[in-house]
Amino acid sequence: MTRICVVGGGGYVGLGYAVALAELGHDVVGLDIAAGRVALLNQGTSPIYEVGLPEMLRRNLDAARLRFTTDYAEAVPGSDLVFLCTGTPSLSDGEADLRQVRSAAASIGMHLVPGTRTIIVNKSTMPVGTADLVAGIVAEYAPEGARFAVISNPEFLREGRVLHDILRPDRVVLGGDDEEALEIVAELYGPLQAPILRTDHRSAELIKYAANAFLATKISFINDIARLCERLGADVTDVAEGIGADERIGPRFLHAGIGFGGSCFPKDVGALTRMAEGAGLHPGLLRAVMEINRDAQRRFVARADELLAGLDRRVIAIWGLAFKEGTDDLRESPAVAIAEMLMERGAIARAHDPAARENAARRLPRVILCDSPVEAATGADAVMLCTPWPEYRDLDFTEVARSMSGDIILDGRNLLDASHVAAAGLRYEGIGKGADRARAADAASPQVARGA
Ligand code: UDX
């Protein structure tokens, strides 16, 4: 049993670790400056939505292995390990904002106890070189005789799967030069039976950014191929399956659509781009990844504009607002960008999302929020599916068709069964479905299409 303090213990990453480390049998105190969150958590209520979290939170509070506080003086002294899990949001130029990290490092330093040794485990996603910055700030504030080591230990958690990803990681990355501290942290992860990669601080920090940038690149790659498919009459789903079957490529993150969003990919690709520029490089690939992503959303709106011969006063139903299925998170959601672009062009946006309604009421006050996808489609000239919630696949499309005033279904995630939609008399269009478009053109005008 190790005594662990998790700084930022009320956020996605920190709360996940606080709860999971308690579940592994450690004595954990979650520290967060948000008093409201801390009060809720101590009562067993999770302020964020994560699979399995409410049960695991309550179980560990009841077993007295877990508690939450706002007070560094209560949490840091007596802890063997301090997990640093504060957020690193983006500044307006894409650079990571380190204010929370700096202030947490100072507070940790101030509360270290002379004669003890504390290991600071850095989970926050921070630009390469920040571990040294954290160590410097802690040293500046630490009382004489308090010893400490910093270990870089990036997380690779997906929203909605935080506990799963903590307890069953593909790998654990540990960066640092203090062998004893590295060994202690490696032992902590021992029960998870994951491969452990030991490296230096800078490589560990870069692994986090490079992993997210690579996944984002895979998505932008397939979205670029989707554009080509539309021009050349090919089907991107088949192309993705064909390339993904190659073991060296793999099938995941090759799902074409309106692009990636969320709190990590856009922020981390942006921060890596800034790091590369700061190092005197020209990160052409990273810039293209972001450009293709923005373009995917612009093209989706342009296609609706084209099919409806203008968007002014058109009624558009948006299905799904969250940045991905299974979450209520709207941060950097492609659906939000699309809703805004539609409204800027005069369209009336009606929307449905199974989880994000409350957040959407705040974020998109001009969007008419509906209780069901059919209600959203009522009177709509077109439906634009933006988030791949599985329930949209099983809708009664005859009912959808009856409620709409137009007949266009634009599937921004290639989720729906095209034949199912077409059977209801609706006109279906997915992303990168050039083969369908070629067939449709062929049917409409056989000589021209064949001659083209
Ligand atoms: C991501 C990383 O997966 C995780 O390892 C990291 O720690 C944080 O960022 P998350 O933001 O939760 O996790 O979302 P993820 O499930 O990876 O999806 C990101 C976005 O990419 C979503 O908008 C999703 O819809 C989109 N996506 C994903 C695609 O457009 N196509 C795909 O093939 C996969």
Domain extents for the chain?
A: 3-199, 213-440
Statement: 3-199 belongs to CATH 3.20.20.70: no
**Nearest of 372, 300, 370, 306 to residue 339 by alpha carbon:** 300
Which residue has its alpha carbon closest to ligand 1 atom 25?
A: 324
Which residue has its alpha carbon closest to ligand 1 atom 13? Answer: 158
Ligand 1 atom with least separation from CA of 218: 33
Residue of 153, 260, 319 with the most ligand 1 atoms within 8 Å of its CB, for mutation: 260
Answer whether residue 450 shows pLDDT above 50.
no
Which atom belonging to ligand 1 lies closest to the Cα atom of 253? Answer: 33
Strand order in the sheet with 348-352: 368-369, 348-352, 315-319, 382-385, 408-411, 427-429
Q: How far is the CA of 265 from the centre of ligand 1 (A)?
A: 7
Cα separation, 344 vs 336, in Å, equals: 12
315 close to ligand 1 (CB < 6 Angstrom): no
What are the helix (H) ranges across 345-394? 357-363, 373-377
How many angstroms separate the CA atoms of 316 and 337, rounded?
Answer: 14
User: Largest alpha-carbon pair distance within the chain?
Assistant: 87
Each residue's pLDDT tens digit, 258-287? 999 999 999 999 999 999 999 999 999 999
Catalytic annotation, residues: 264
Which residue lies with its CA nearest to atom 1 of ligand 1? 158
Ligand 1 pocket test, candidate residues 48, 90, 159, 387, most atoms within 8 A of CB: 159
- Mean pLDDT (the chain, rounded): 95
CA of 159 to the centre of ligand 1 (A): 8
Is the CB of residue 229 below 6 angstroms from any atom belonging to ligand 1? no
In angstroms, rounded to a whole number, what is the distance separating the alpha carbons of residues 234 and 384?
A: 22
Nearest residue to 31 via CA among 99, 78, 80, 84: 84
Q: Which of the pair, 359 or 49, is modelled with greater confidence? A: 359
| Residue 260 Cα to ligand 1 middle (Å) | 6
Among 15-19, 164-168, 443-447, which is the least confidently predicted range?
443-447
Query: What are the structure tokens assigned to 337, written together?
Result: 């960008």
Is the CB of 157 within 6 Å of ligand 1? yes
pLDDT tens, position by position, 4-25:
999 999 998 999 999 999 999 9
Q: pLDDT tens digits, residue range 43-72? A: 999 988 888 999 999 999 999 999 999 999
CA–centroid distance, 37 to ligand 1, in Å, is 26
Half-sphere exposure of 175 (CA within 13 A, CB side): 20
3-199 against 213-440: fold identical: yes
**Residue 439 — pLDDT band, cuts 50, 70, 90?**
confident
Domain 213-440 architecture = 3-Layer(aba) Sandwich (3.40)
